[in-house]
Structure 1
Amino acid sequence: MRQKVTASPLLWPVVALIALLAVNVVVTPSFLAIRVQDGHLFGSVIDILRNGAPTMLVALGMTLVIASRGIDLSVGAVVAVSGALACAHIASATDPASAGTVITAAAVALGVAVALGLWNGALVSVFGVQPIIATLVLMTAGRGIALLITDGQIVTVTSAPFKVLGAGYAFGLPVAILVSLSVFVLVGLLTRRTALGMLLESVGINPEASRLAGVRHRSIVFAVYVFCALCAGIAGLMIASNISAADANNAGLWIEMDAILAVVIGGTSLLGGRFSLTGTIIGALIIQTLTTTVYTAGITPETTLVFKALVVIAVCLLQAPKFRAALSRRRSSRSDAPANEETAAPETISAAESVTPMTGMVTK
């Protein structure tokens, strides 16, 4: 059992998350306290889960893309486009507070997000463009599209139904948390209870061998980019709903980096193949907890990226097999050194050497 736990790729991410929570408890003793107010749960832990929900969603989609040996740098732009479309539609509607207006705005935003995912999927799977280049194009153009939609302004909306997705509550928990957990469970069932996960891993490990085995690798690659864009679209709606506004300049800024870091921290290899959805969720929580820790400790927000880099480097090194092997060899050499010195046999003299009587000198 001990060997199984120590060999698990989730060990060090969990340790890092617990360490961050412990630091917050030292700084703020009531950090883990959760209170009930008006039938809803409140507290720092709940805030971490709610604020980290968009990153969790984007990271889940990114996990499947990376598992297929790809990358999607355009998720931040899709987040901005989705939020801009939804807020622009609600702001221009005659009745922005109606549920029908909000549903139509969400449908339009998610439809465009899926279309952008189709664009990425077609470039990568059909035309054979490198994933980093194909998604870099949309990363650059997408935010410009969002700025065109909002005319370069921050579009604010006043709509109670729209506010529910990012700041509402259901069953005592924030709706954003419930949505992220629902997507996590759905993806987990599809990839671990069906053959889809195995097919995705086979495509990521060796696309050519998968093709020869009869796997429709292009369809799988196409689908994961569409799903990733859909997750980014939902995240964009969450962010816009939480602040009741669309900020094309800052919405989803660097969220692609946070998603990739969460996936890597969770143990998914950037080379494709095996992936861990649970590890991705833990990685996203580490990213959000680290951000909260920096703010709680009174450190300037500008240094958040530096702390993120340090934590990511530490966790990734502890997960690297070569680094762990080097640490184990150093520990074993230190523990064996005293025993070797105590039990070392005295040097023997070869047959070609003799000891001179009285002086004890060795002569050839």
Structure 2
Amino acid sequence: MYSQIIKKIAKYRLFWPLVCLFVVLGVNLIRTPDFFNISINSKGVLYGYLIDIINRSSELIILAAGMTVCVASSAGTDISVGSVMAVAGAVTCFLLGTGDAYNIPYVLAVLAGILAATACGAWNGFLVAKLKIQPMVATLILFTAGRGIAQLITGGNILYIKVKNFKYLGSVLPGVPLPTPVFVAAAVVILTSILLRKSALGMYIQSVGINSKASKLIGLNSTLIIFITYAFCGLCAGIAGSIATSRIYSIDANNVGLNMEMDAILAVALGGNSLAGGKFSLAGSVIGAITIQALSTSLYSMGVSADQLPVYKAIVVIIIVSLQSQQTKKFFKNFSQKIKIDKAGEKVAQ
């Protein structure tokens, strides 16, 4: 009876992503006893390892939301999101200026930065959807040129924003106990989920990702759908870039969003989504993003240096991805069936 229940639970799409997350958190329960402690500081803000994980994973969650629909529609990845984050931050800070007052209203500058990032995503979408260029090759253009564009906008300098309320988006609002990026990430995920579930867009994306030619035959404009997903990915990169810039009160075009594209792709994969396109799970990608940040935070709490972090992180990721692979699942399934057959043979012999 219990085995049947376990099998049913194991078939649930989010089972393995959740298992991986709980394993990472469980190790911390043993190695770092105070890992799950949450306190309130003198400013009335919650802090602790768990709060730090949720806070620091916010940008990655937002990027993963955009990457998920990209992968689902085109069976390809957008490797330019990190550079697009830098472009969005550069546009925002350039328009705001570096004095003691904003040159233009803060909201307009942030919207301009997000619009610039969306335009970058639309450019990628045009190359992939209209010109039929392989996604990785198409997005490689902005991957290499994006930071150069950001440097041109900033004049090759690090622009510092001295106005106090600029940091609210990347830190906390007065009187609010949770960091602002947590609310922004939650809003992006909820709105994206509503859009994909309450409209036909989610079904269209899956249909195009599974078979774009068949989708055309039933009247779907696969070119437009792929274009929209890449533009949306750029939009998400713009939002993430605005948060990242606000965290450091400046724009450093060389470092904002650096290597974030790899973590975003990995979050999609860890979430149980197929990189071959088609069906997708936004919730799985969110769990994957939190798992990656939890892993990084865990390693730091165990005394692993920043230089050594990628090595340990790569080893754990390989194990997690291997456990979720179809071949591993097939092996365990065949192994359990073999045990059942052996037990049945023993009973017959007796």
TM-score interval for Structure 1 and Structure 2 normalised by the shorter chain: over 0.9
Mean Cα deviation higher: 283-292 or 36-45:
36-45
Contact 1:294-1:301 at 8 Å conserved across structures:
no
Partner of 1:112: 116
State TM-score, norm by structure 1. Answer: 0.89
Contact 1:102-1:161 at 8 Å conserved across structures:
no
Structure 1: distance between partners of 2:343 and 2:117: 64
Contact 1:31-1:43 at 8 Å conserved across structures:
yes
Partner of 1:89: 95
> In structure 2, do the counterparts of structure 1 residues 4 and 339 end up closer, same or farther at CA, with 3 Å as the change threshold?
closer
Determine whether 1:196 maps to 2:177.
no
Partner of 1:157: 161
Determine whether 1:138 maps to 2:142.
yes
SS at match of 2:16: helix
2:183 pairs with one of 151, 174, 178: 178
How many residues of Structure 1 are paired with residues of Structure 2 in the alignment?
A: 343
Partner of 1:27: 31
Where has structure 1 moved over 6 Å in runs of 4 or more?
none
Determine whether 1:212 maps to 2:217.
yes
Structure 1 stretches of 5 or more lacking a match? 346-364
**Superposed displacement of residue 49, structure 1:** 0.8
Partner of 1:353: none
> In structure 2, do the counterparts of structure 1 residues 321 and 161 end up closer, same or farther at CA, with 3 Å as the change threshold?
same
> In structure 2, do the counterparts of structure 1 residues 253 and 342 end up closer, same or farther at CA, with 3 Å as the change threshold?
same
Contact 1:95-1:101 at 8 Å conserved across structures:
no
Deviation sequence 1:203-259 (CA, Å, 0-9, x none): 000001001100111111111111100100111111110011111111111100000
Structure 2 stretches of 5 or more lacking a match? none
**Superposed displacement of residue 4, structure 1:** 2.5
**Superposed displacement of residue 171, structure 1:** 4.1
Mean Cα deviation higher: 269-278 or 245-254:
245-254
- Give the 5 Å matches for 1:151-300: 151-169=155-173, 171-300=176-305
Mean Cα deviation higher: 148-157 or 292-301:
148-157
Contact 1:93-1:101 at 8 Å conserved across structures:
no
Deviation sequence 1:242-295 (CA, Å, 0-9, x none): 011111111111100000000001011111000001000100001101110111
Mean Cα deviation higher: 6-15 or 174-183:
6-15
SS at match of 1:168: coil
- Give, as a single letter, the amino acid of the residue that structure 2 aligns with 1:164: Y
Contact 1:117-1:226 at 8 Å conserved across structures:
yes
SS at match of 1:249: coil
Deviation sequence 1:279-337 (CA, Å, 0-9, x none): 00100001101110111111122232223322332222222222212123224434654
- Give, as a single letter, the amino acid of the residue that structure 1 aligns with 2:119: A
Deviation sequence 1:15-66 (CA, Å, 0-9, x none): 1111211222223212111123444322211111111100110110000000
State TM-score, norm by structure 2. Answer: 0.92
Structure 2: distance between partners of 1:343 and 1:130: 58
Structure 1: distance between partners of 2:46 and 2:12: 32
Contact 2:99-2:162 at 8 Å conserved across structures:
no
Partner of 1:327: 332
Structure 1: distance between partners of 2:192 and 2:339: 46
Give the structure with higher Rg (CA): 1
Structure 2: distance between partners of 1:151 and 1:178: 33
Q: CA RMSD in A?
A: 1.9
Mean Cα deviation higher: 85-94 or 61-70:
85-94
SS at match of 2:39: strand
- Give, as a single letter, the amino acid of the residue that structure 1 aligns with 2:293: Q
**Superposed displacement of residue 155, structure 1:** 1.9
SS at match of 2:33: coil
- Give, as a single letter, the amino acid of the residue that structure 1 aligns with 2:189: F
2:131 pairs with one of 127, 130, 142: 127
Structure 1: distance between partners of 2:138 and 2:221: 21
SS at match of 1:149: helix
Structure 2: distance between partners of 1:192 and 1:315: 29
**Percent sequence identity over aligned pairs:** 42
